[in-house]
Amino acid sequence: MQLKIKIVFAAALALVFLLGAVAKGVPPSDLKSVLDKLNASAANFQTVSADAEFDDITTSPIEDKDVFKGVVYYDRKGTALRMAAHFKEHNGKPSTKAYTYVGGVVKLHESGSNQVTSYPQAGKFESYFMLGFGASGKDLEAKWNITDRGSEVIDGVTTEKLDLVAKDPEVSKKLTSVTIWVDPDRAVSLKQIFTLNDSSSKVCFYKNLKLNKSLPGDAFTFKGDQ
């Protein structure tokens, strides 16, 4: 009789946890299904533009938050990726800061000047630039250890929350983890959190996404660029 009571209690407890998960809208994890969807949608990915907000957050030694707002562009043809971020605001003030990634080179344009700084060795980090934008399930599996945290609705879109830890130990030294809220049906992210360390992170929000539309002719250039 005592064994039967224990079995009934265990079954009831399991049911409580299951109902709790359903109540929160988090379905059982099915990472393979998500990655398969990303494989299919990434094959059709060409371009995307979006309104973006990047929040640089520091909690130690002093709490600080830098907020950049602007627009981002992504363009992918075969294995060639281009991306750019053009900022209009920095902490509520006008900004012309921008950066591009084209041909394996990152170029940074500082606000209020014509100075452009180039980083030609950035090509080896291409998979991190495309993270959540045109990246297939195979792309993610190749570079990251992935944990599926279930679905979440952001701005009316059902996304899959994925926790990523870099497989490359050199990368994981500088980037503790990444969490993306990805729309598997479009191969785009609506939110990303890059955790650099215990006291520093970058949170990225994307809205008004326009997929596979023509991009502006100057999307991947800026004043002072050569």
Strands (DSSP E) along 2-131, which ranges?
Answer: 47-58, 64-77, 80-90, 93-94, 98-102, 105-109, 116-119
Q: Does the structure show a pLDDT above 90 at 7? A: no
Q: Over range 20-44, report the average pLDDT.
A: 72
Contact of 191 with 153, CB cutoff 8 Å: no
124 pLDDT band, cuts 50/70/90, is: low
Q: Does the structure show a pLDDT above 70 at 27? A: no
Residue 224 in any domain: the answer is: no
Question: What is the domain range of residue 10?
Answer: 2-211
Residue 219 in any domain: the answer is: no
pTM, rounded to two decimals: 0.83
Ranges 8-17, 60-69, 139-148, 163-172: which has the least confidence: 8-17
Q: Does the structure show a pLDDT above 70 at 89? A: yes
Residue 81 in any domain: the answer is: yes
Burial class (CB in 10 A: 0-12, 13-18, 19+), 35: buried
Phi-psi domain of 134 (left: phi exceeds 0; alpha: psi -120 through 50; beta: other): left
The pair of structure tokens assigned to 77 is 């043809």
The pair of structure tokens assigned to 217 is 């002719």
Residue 188 in any domain: the answer is: yes
Number of domains in the chain: 1
Residue 148 in any domain: the answer is: yes
Residue 196 in any domain: the answer is: yes
First to last CA, the chain: 82
Residue 113 in any domain: the answer is: yes
Q: Over range 163-173, report the average pLDDT.
A: 90
Residue 220 in any domain: the answer is: no
pLDDT at residue 4, rounded to an integer = 37
pLDDT at residue 198, rounded to an integer = 92
Is the Cα torsion angle 163, 141, 71, 201 positive or negative in sign?
positive
Percentage of the chain surpassing pLDDT 90? 64
Q: CATH number of the domain that 87 lies in? A: 2.50.20.10
pLDDT at residue 176, rounded to an integer = 93
